[in-house]
Structure 1
Amino acid sequence: MNTQSLHTLEYETVRQELMRHAVSYEGRRYVSELAPMTYLPAIHRALEEVEEAKELLMRGASVPVPSLEGIEWVLSLLGTGYMYNEQDFTAVSQFLNSCAQLRKYMASKEQTAPRIAAYGASLQELRAVKEEIDRCIRLGVIETGASKGLERVRKRLGMAKERLNRKLESIMNRHKAILQESLVSMRNGRYVIPVKREYHKQIKGTVLDQSTSGQTVFVEPEEAASLQGEIELLTAEEAREEGIILSMLTGLLEQEQAAIRQNIEITGMYDFIFAKGKYAQGMDAVRVSLNERGYLRMNGGRHPLLKDMVPVSLEFGQGYKSLIVTGPNTGGKTVVLKTLGLLSLMVQSGLLIPAQPGSDFTVFKDVISVIGDGQSLTQSLSTFSAQMKSIEGMLGEAGRGVLLLIDELAAGTDPGEGFALSIAILEELNRKGANIVVTTHFNELKAFAAATEGFENARMEFDKHTLQPLYKLTIGEAGESYALQIAEKLGIGRTVIERARELVTEQQSRRGSYDPWKGAVRRKRSAGTGEAGEAEGAERADRVGPQNSPAEEAEQAKREYEIGDAVYVSSLGRTGIVYAKKDSRGMVGVMIQKQKITVNHKRLKPYLSKEELYPEDYDLDIIFESKENRKKRKLMAKRHVEGLSITLPEEEK
């Protein structure tokens, strides 16, 4: 999927919201890898799983999904030769206990949640491993009975410590008068007694430390030194025996590392599925139908990140595959685009969505959006230039099964050029078979939608009396901008408003002098495409289309069309762009929706000059040449490339 569009449509924010519901590092890993899918069976399975999880949660079920605390560390060191400690084995024991509980719980849900219950059967309890860990370690400490060797050494160590304590008590009783206090302490792992500084020489032994004030010295009595040496040896032997036990337990984990890894993956998957279920439950989301027919019906869809929004309903894919949405500013047009785009991405990610029952989504190969001005000060891009840069990429990626979302197409330039450029872009995107939802203020695009096969108008409803948006989308009707009414309500003077209305009337009158979209062959009920369709179109145009008068014929004979000019082909009732100037036979090359044909210049009428259509220094190769050929030409301009050639269509040779 288009990475930039995922960002524009706030897909990452949804992923972060979902992340909050995961309780384990493995579940969060699954969330971080969440992405829209295009394989229908995989999407169906994911939706069925999350629907089952949501149902269990709604029944008040407490699913024993382990947090995997401490297990990430254990897993990372498996197979490295590292010897685990008592805390590591305690974490493993708790994890295996959770796996057993989860397996038992999911087994009890085979009838109500068969899809997700199936994962539980693959969980391995590893009872022998858990029992051995529990036998050897309790409350984070190695049990004395873990081995015979450890039992023997700890018994001897206990006896040695008891003899040492008795010896120290005897010494303190004899020298009670010179002691700072009757208390045995330790310094550097050795037992010492606190002696007043001025008397410390009365006790044979080694001074190991002194107090901060210097008034007390800590002496290891000579009589106890030999016993302390014995204790040190026994302590070292105890550590060796404990190491043997930890090594034995580590070996058990190494032997079962495949099963442990599998258990972690399965519990992480459960965490992921139930996180999706919790997320769905929180926004009252439902499972929607899916198809690969290109049909989409969104009933009462709500943007998951917008609270209290008015639900949006729209439909395309039967009779028309694209929508041109009109209506006033702040009327919710952009919200429609973002809601449709984000919900489509969520559905294909296996997520339930906030929509009404009866919704049916289609699987898109890609979702590409151009929403927002995308201005860049560092690249010196205006709003219009930034949008056109994005549209260029969209033209390259568009195709059947691709959803294109465009907000205010060509709005940042001269309206006369903007609507013409918009129509040319939409014709090309439509020719490639993409599904398009575009918002606009251009009235000409309303006529275009009404007259062009595959398009339909839609409007955002607006209360004419209160001048407040209703945030309701109605398909089949074009909306108005209400700019003058809104401006008047906001305080713009009546004189200014009346003058604006006069200018609008004049502008509409000028544009109304010639409207190519009114030709009968542009109506949706016109017959097919291809050669037969073109022939029928020509026949209809000769019968009902615009005809040239003798004076106009004479004028046409003298007219020279420039490459890039928009012309109206009277024989076909369609507009196109000139790609080749008039030849000696009077034939002009015209491209109509990427199909290049030659037309007698007498059959052409000027529509818009290239200066009106395109910005200065605009690269017309973008329109006339394929992306592949453009790349080849750029490469050839830099250097000679052996074997590289450009093949031109027959009509361009």
Structure 2
Amino acid sequence: MQLTGLVEKYDKEIKLAVDIMTQYDVIFAKAKHSEEIKGISPQINEYHTIVLKEARHPLLGEKAVPLNFAIGDEYDALVITGPNTGGKTVTIKTVGLLTLMAQSGFHIPAEEGSQIGIFDKILVDIGDGQSIEQSLSTFSSRIKNIIEILAETTPSTLVLLDELGSGTDPAEGMGFATSILEELFNKGATLLATTHYSEIKAHATIREGFENGSMEFDQDTLKPTYRLIIGKGGDSQAFTIALKLGMHPKVIERAHKITYGESKDYSGSSAFSKHELDRQIAMNAKYVQKQKHVKKEEKKQDIISYNRGDNVKIPSLNQFGIVSKEANIRGEVEVFIQWEKYMINQKRLTLYIKAADLYPEDYNFDIIFESKEHRKLAKEMSKRHVEGATIEKNDR
């Protein structure tokens, strides 16, 4: 009892000492971990830009093929294609893990000059895309996860999606995947997705704000190199591998026509196939340059706060509209476009003419955005109580 009393007398000091020891223990543990992974302190930014130089998955260490990666500057959505076991999933896991590590105060296994953006949330849907049991229950569980991701996504969210749209009919899966990517992009998310769908690769080629990436594949050894190449889409290499392994060219030609709706000659040697693939990649690169807008004078633009009545341009729709409601907590602005109201993330808008330059200071915007019945009811309710009547007021 006497000893207990003596200890109790210094209760506060003991608790403080334990807390300090715990904090120092965590700091020393982080330092030791940094030495083991050869970690560096990345540059931190609030612009949701991620730049990784010679980065490695923290659990693979020196065995990992270094990853060079960038997003958030010239594009906010990266679609990664390529063969199975080529490293697509490891790539997006590496980006997610290193972002979490940096935001948790850890050093990351990468080279100096790497940058990590700060995100409020990192939302993930990564499943085992190589399971032979792509059943309805698997698809259903993934769709439920996607629904939650769509509901929680904001402009400060990093979204990682693996094999989006898999586990169901390919045509429907492709449609789902494209629509989901568009919705997440319109919400302002920073987005990484892996896929086998060539249609999504084509969509990312011409869609402003999207970029293609592919996992490199050595056609001579028929093995992946696990290197990410940003700027061109890859493919599953199924036809190339089949040709190398001795399948008759006529079978592959028939498969190519069924898949792509066009004829292609596979009767040459493997060297011819590689030459043909390189030629198509070069043609695709020219097409990409022709389709993309060259508007990269500024690396980053501050997000503009739009006011009711501002005339804005929506580049993705090639349309003009008028802001009817200012941004909500998700950064979504209600825009009046051709008599229809749309919710569009403020990052996807460009100010054309300010409301102050178009309308008098005391202008009543209800004349534009509200129906005659709505305005009449509002006027009546301003004079007296109207039994059973309700009206939604725009306070912005």
Q: CA deviation at 1:486?
A: 2.1
Decide whether aligned partners of structure 1 residues 269 and 590 sit closer, same or farther in structure 2, where only a CA change above 3 A counts: closer
Correspondences of 1:376-525 after superposition (within 5 Å):
381-490=136-245, 492-506=247-261, 523-524=292-293
1:315 aligns with 2:95: no
Q: 1:292 to 1:505 in 2, by over 3 A?
A: closer
Q: Secondary structure at the match of 2:64?
A: coil
**2:54 aligned to which of 300, 321, 337:** 300
Match of 1:361, SS state, is strand
1:251 paired with 2:5, answer yes
Partner of 1:370: 125
> Helix, strand or coil: the match of 2:313?
helix
Larger radius of gyration: 1
Contact 1:321-1:436 at 8 Å conserved across structures: yes
Partner Cα distance (1:588, 1:363) in 2: 38
- Partner residue, 1:533: 313
Give the CA deviation at 1:474: 1.6
Match of 2:40 in 1: 286
Query: 1:54 matched to which residue of 2?
Result: none
SS of structure 2 residue aligned to 1:462: strand
Greater relative CO, 1 or 2 (CA 8 Å, sep 6+): 2
- C-alpha distance in 2, partners of 1:505/1:447? 12
**Cα drift, residue 375 of structure 1:** 12
**Uncovered stretches (5+) of structure 1, i.e. residues with no partner:** 1-82, 84-246, 510-517, 540-586, 596-642
Q: Tell me, yes or no, if the aligned pair for 1:301 and 1:313 is still in contact at 8 Å.
A: yes
- Per-residue CA deviations over 1:535-590 (Å, capped at 9, x if unaligned) read 99369xxxxxxxxxxxxxxxxxxxxxxxxxxxxxxxxxxxxxxxxxxxxxxx9979
Structure 1 match to 2:358: none
Residues 171-210 of structure 1 mapped to structure 2, 5 A cutoff: none
- State the distance in 1 between where 2:237 and 2:86 align: 10
Structure 1 CA distance for aligned equivalents of residues 166 and 12 of structure 2: 59
For the 8 Å contact 2:256–2:262, the answer to whether it is kept is: no
Alpha-carbon spacing, 1:360–1:375, altered in 2? closer, same or farther (3 Å): closer
Q: Do the aligned residues in 2 keep the contact of 1:383 with 1:412 (CA within 8 Å)?
A: yes
Does the C-alpha gap of structure 1 residues 331 and 261 become closer, same or farther in structure 2, counting only changes over 3 Å? same
Mind listing any 5+ residue stretches in structure 2 that lack a counterpart? 265-286, 296-305, 321-337, 347-387
Contact 2:123 2:160 in 1 (8 A): yes
Establish whether residue 272 from structure 1 lines up as the match of residue 26 from structure 2.
Answer: yes
- The letter of the residue matching 2:251 is V
* Residue 241 of structure 1: aligned partner: none
2:114 counterpart residue number: 359
The two structures, once aligned, show a CA RMSD in angstroms of 3.8
| Partner-residue secondary structure (3-state), 2:52 | strand
- Say whether the 8 Å CA contact 2:188–2:345 is kept in structure 1: no
Distance in 2 of aligned mates of 1:430 and 1:401 = 12
Q: Aligned partners of 1:537, 1:287: CA distance in 2, in Å? A: 42
Shift of 1:342: 1.0
Task: Tell me the distance in 1 between the aligned counterparts of 2:11 and 2:219.
Answer: 70
Displacement after TM superposition at 1:311 (Å): 1.2
Q: What residue is the counterpart of 2:373 in the other structure?
A: none
Q: How many residues align?
A: 296
Task: Summarize the Cα distance change of 1:531–1:537 in structure 2 as closer, same or farther, 3 Å threshold.
Answer: farther
Which residue identity lines up with residue 533 of structure 1 in the other structure? K
**Residue in structure 2 matched with residue 614 of structure 1 by the alignment:** none
* Aligned counterparts of 2:149 and 2:205: Cα–Cα separation in 1: 24
Report the Cα distance in structure 2 between the residues aligned to 1:409 and 1:523, rounded to whole angstroms: 25
Assess, with a 3 A threshold, how the Cα gap between structure 1 residues 442 and 353 changes in structure 2: closer, same or farther: same
In structure 1, distance between residues paired with 2:342 and 2:236: 33
Secondary structure of the corresponding residue to residue 144 of structure 2: helix
Distance 1:374 1:456, change over 3 A: closer
Q: How many angstroms apart in 2 are the aligned matches of 1:646 and 1:410? A: 41
CA spacing shift, 1:301–1:270, aligned 2, 3 Å: same
How far did 1:343 drift?
A: 1.1
Residues of 1 paired with 2:343 and 2:244: CA distance? Answer: 44
Structure 1 Cα separation of the partners of residues 9 and 343 of structure 2: 69
TM-score normalised according to structure 1 size: 0.41
SS of the residue corresponding to residue 382 of structure 1 reads: helix
Secondary structure class of the residue paired with 2:70: strand
Q: Hey, what's the Cα distance between the residues in 2 that align with 1:304 and 1:321?
A: 24
